[in-house]
A = this chain, B = another copy of it.
Amino acid sequence: MLGNFTYCNPTKVYFGKDALSGLDEELPKYGKNVLLVYGGGSIKRNGIYDAVLEKLKKHGKVVTEDAKVMPNPTSEKLKEGCARARAAQADLILAVGGGSVIDYAKGVSVSAYCKEDPWTKYYLQMQDPSDGIIPVGAVLTMVGTGSEMNGGSVITNHEQKLKIGHVFGEEVFPKFAILNPEYTYTLPKYQMVAGFYDIMCHIHEQYFSGTDDNTSDYVMEGLMRSLIHSSKIAIDDPKNYEARSNIMWTATWALNTFVAMGKSTDWEVHMIGQAVGAYTDATHGMTLSAVTLAYFRHILPYGMQKFVRYAVNVWGVGAEGKTDEQVALEGLAALEAWMRSLSLVMDLKTLGVTQEMLPGIVEATFIMQGGYKVLTKEDVMEILQESMESKE
């Protein structure tokens, strides 16, 4: 643990089958105007919408709805949400959904009264919020992004073909988060496993960086092992409460800032994946799974010791009598086998990426400094090319 850091995570989490009753404690803390943010309407089919609305009515809230938040929320939609929040004079933004909905709610939170253009200020220039922040609360219905307990907000600008995440400070974190694992049961399998991989990738991005040997590395190994264990149960039995609840909690801790403290981090897979997302609108987790193995093979020689440690401590690879490279590759093979067992998308073509898109995706990929190798644009192109088709 070498770096200086400041850690603060004030989000209050209500977890479990009765989590929604947390609204009875939280709603009275805010004024009467609530902007209710949600996505495509699945919450109307599975009863969550009704349950939330009942709580809002019970506490006398005046509700303005802001629905149809898309899987990769856009800067256009953000403007619309800001207008709604201002018109409603929202005292609280209640986001009911997955990472996209909560990311979007944070975007509206800092942008509604922002005097400049929010896309430019927050996502292109990464400035701090000003002009007021509307408090956000979250009811989580899809697991993976960790948005329920952090300051992350990813917004896509289709005109500029950019998908960018701003990590805001603790003043933008959800004030509270309702985590009921049962709310994730009705999610289609494709979205469920994409979320599982998003969790794994979050941990990878923070684990595969630095040569230190610190508390976070050990904790992340634990989180990965927990995820692997529970995902194997959930894939066959999606309504297994124990598995789904552990995955939900693991997802939160994979990206609520704790495991990044004092460490360098990478995030290059997210940078490539987000560029792919800007071109294809593909499901976030699948953009990550499609490029991970090619990326890891590129950086493996530069981070050999960590890949060996990963193979042994996370995947239980035996190291005796083997070279470091053999051990490391066995770790990646175990990762790949697990990914295939989840039916993740393992190539870019399946996501709709064409050869014509590749130069633009390369251009849209931010180059990070924290990984074992700082990529060149040529590296990114090679990784994309290698990811176009999956070789079994």
Tell me if A14 counts as interface (CB < 8 A to partner B). yes
* Segment 151-170 of A: residues with Cβ below 8 Å from B: none
- With A226-B218, A253-B215 in contact, do A5 and B16 touch (Cβ < 8 Å)? yes
Q: How far is the CA of A336 from the CA of B215 in the complex (A)?
A: 22
Q: How far is the CA of A15 from the CA of B220 in the complex (A)?
A: 20
* A interface residues, how many (CB within 8 angstroms): 46
Let me know if A10 and B8 touch, CB within 8 A: yes
Interface residues of chain A, those whose CB is within 8 Å of chain B, are 1-19, 22, 181, 212-215, 217-223, 225-226, 229, 241-242, 245-246, 248-250, 253, 258, 261-262
30 CB contacts below 8 A, A to B, read A1-B245, A1-B248, A1-B249, A2-B241, A2-B245, A4-B16, A4-B17, A4-B19, A6-B13, A6-B14, A6-B22, A7-B15, A8-B13, A9-B9, A15-B261, A16-B262, A213-B229, A214-B242, A214-B246, A215-B249, A215-B250, A218-B223, A218-B229, A219-B226, A219-B253, A222-B223, A245-B262, A249-B261, A249-B262, A253-B258
Let me know if B4 and A18 touch, CB within 8 A: yes
Q: How far is the CA of A390 from the CA of B15 in the complex (A)?
A: 44
Q: How far is the CA of A219 from the CA of B262 in the complex (A)?
A: 18
Q: How far is the CA of A242 from the CA of B248 in the complex (A)?
A: 32
- Which residue of B3, B15, B220, B242 contacts A5 across the interface (Cβ within 8 Å)? B15
A-B pairs, 10 with minimum CB distance: A4-B16, A222-B222, A218-B222, A1-B245, A218-B226, A8-B12, A7-B13, A219-B222, A10-B10, A215-B226
| Shortest CB distance A220–B (Å) | 7
Q: How far is the CA of A220 from the CA of B229 in the complex (A)?
A: 16
- With A219-B226, A225-B218, A249-B215 in contact, do A11 and B13 touch (Cβ < 8 Å)? no
- Complex: chain B residue closest to A13, CB-CB: B7
- Complex: chain B residue closest to A224, CB-CB: B218
Let me know if A12 and B7 touch, CB within 8 A: yes
Let me know if A4 and B10 touch, CB within 8 A: no
Q: How far is the CA of A249 from the CA of B213 in the complex (A)?
A: 13
| Shortest CB distance A379–B (Å) | 31
Let me know if A219 and B223 touch, CB within 8 A: yes
Chain B residue contacts of A17, Cβ below 8 A: 4
Let me know if B212 and A242 touch, CB within 8 A: yes
- Which residue of B13, B219, B245 contacts A219 across the interface (Cβ within 8 Å)? B219
